[in-house]
Each structure stands twice: as structure tokens, then as C-alpha cells.
Amino acid sequence: MLREPLTGVVNSPLGTARGSRLWGHERKMAGKTGTSQNPHGDDHGLFVGFYPADEPEIVASAVVEHGLHGSTVARYVRDL
């Protein structure tokens, strides 16, 4: 039910984590970005992703303090 929209977050041209797409791979990654407001400075960035999107075997999550946006954090999860 959620697999298709979460795949779009990473693989759609309009997805918030489109910069973390796995180019040249037969299978796709999926995930969800997030941003946590920080009243004391830059916002925190979050991303939870799984691979492959069609039959997940790997799940990873990252939180970067002062990371600004989940879209920037998604690249770290992609590189795992």
C-alpha cells in the first residue's frame, strides 16, 4: 500500500529525495524524508529508506543534527 509512494520519494523527478536515486541499478530504493524544526539553529534532517523497494532486505535510518532537510540526509543512507 505504501511501497509505491515511498518509491516515488526517491525515484520520481518530483520526489523529495530524488538526489539519492540509485542510477544504474536494476532495483530501486524507497524511503521517506523528514525535517525536525530546531528553535536553536538549523533544522535537523531525517531519512528512513529500504532496498530493494519491491522486496526489502535492507532498512536504514539516519538523523543529522543541523542537517537542514531530509533530502540531504537521504544521500548518506543511499551510500551505505
- Quote the CA–CA distance of 33 and 15 in Å, as a whole number: 10
Q: What is the pLDDT of residue 49?
A: 93
Residue-level pLDDT at 68: 84
- 16 residue type, one letter: T
The type of residue at 64 is: V
Q: What is the pLDDT along the chain (80 residues), one digit of tens a residue?
A: 789 999 999 999 999 888 888 888 889 999 999 999 999 999 999 999 999 999 999 999 999 999 888 888 888 888 87
pTM: 0.85
pLDDT of residue 67: 84
